[in-house]
Amino acid sequence: MLGRALSELGIQDQVTVVTKVRPLTENELSDRHNGEEAVRESIEHSRRRLDLEAMNNAQECLLTVF
């Protein structure tokens, strides 16, 4: 829904969308690979739910978290 609205307004490249990730498990917190994968999956879930074509800074977010 949000992605469609931004696209129709022609401003999808001018807007930064911020989303949250689900709480990480002990295993995900202690293992970098598992943690990164959990964050990646959470971001992808949000992207689909918001109907966005891409979340261009997702990799930057992972680098910030881990």
Helices 32-49 and 58-65, packing angle to 10 deg: 150
Q: pLDDT tens across 29-42, in order?
A: 999 899 989 988 98
3 — pLDDT class (breaks 50, 70, 90): confident
What are the extents of the domains in the chain? 2-65
- Which residues, including other chains, have CB under 8 Å from residue 35's CB and lie 6 or more apart? 24, 28, 29, 65, 66
17 with 50: CB under 8 angstroms?
A: yes
State how far the Cα of 22 lies from the Cα of 15, in Å rounded to an integer: 23
The stretch 21-35 carries a mean pLDDT of 91
The stretch 8-21 carries a mean pLDDT of 85
Predicted local distance difference test score (pLDDT) of residue 47: 86
5 with 39: CB under 8 angstroms?
A: no
Predicted local distance difference test score (pLDDT) of residue 64: 58
pLDDT at 55 over 90: no
